[in-house]
């Protein structure tokens, strides 16, 4: 099992939430400062942002290996659209999650992409 931080269309109520069917919702969470969202049109991308002081809001999910493999494909890891890596959460976070926490980082240049700040609305 992997603990995954989701912040965009995979969140509950999001257009791609069905990809998490059968997985366990652990609760709301926020990343540590230093991350922000950029607009990629119909979905966001999470990127490093040294000037950020808020972090990004999202959800924690416990996902099994088959779901994680499916999400890796869905998120375009083979095409270098996203990369999955560990991300620190803001403290305190008392969801009883198992570290490390992973998320999908946008892996392409962000020049010209509108910055969205800490939250993608669903």
Catalytic residues: 75
Nearest Cα neighbor of 73 from 24, 116, 16, 26 is: 16
Entry field: residues in the chain: 122
Location of structure tokens 């942002």 = 49
Distance CA 42, CA 55 (A): 21
Distance CA 103, CA 117 (A): 17
Distances 119 to 60, 78, 91 between C-alpha atoms, Å: 14, 26, 18
């Amino acid at each position: 099992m992997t603990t995954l931080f989701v912040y965009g269309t995979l969140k509950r109520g999001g257009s791609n939430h069905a990809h998490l069917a059968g997985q366990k919702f652990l609760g709301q969470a926020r990343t540590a400062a230093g991350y922000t969202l950029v607009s990629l049109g119909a979905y966001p991308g999470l990127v490093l942002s040294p000037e950020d002081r808020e972090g990004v809001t999202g959800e924690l999910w416990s996902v099994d290996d088959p779901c994680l493999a499916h999400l890796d494909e869905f998120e375009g890891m083979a095409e270098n659209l996203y990369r999955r890596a560990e991300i620190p959460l803001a403290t305190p976070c008392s969801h009883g999650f198992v570290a490390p926490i992973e998320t999908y980082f946008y892996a392409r240049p962000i020049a010209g992409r509108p910055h969205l700040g800490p939250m993608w609305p669903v």
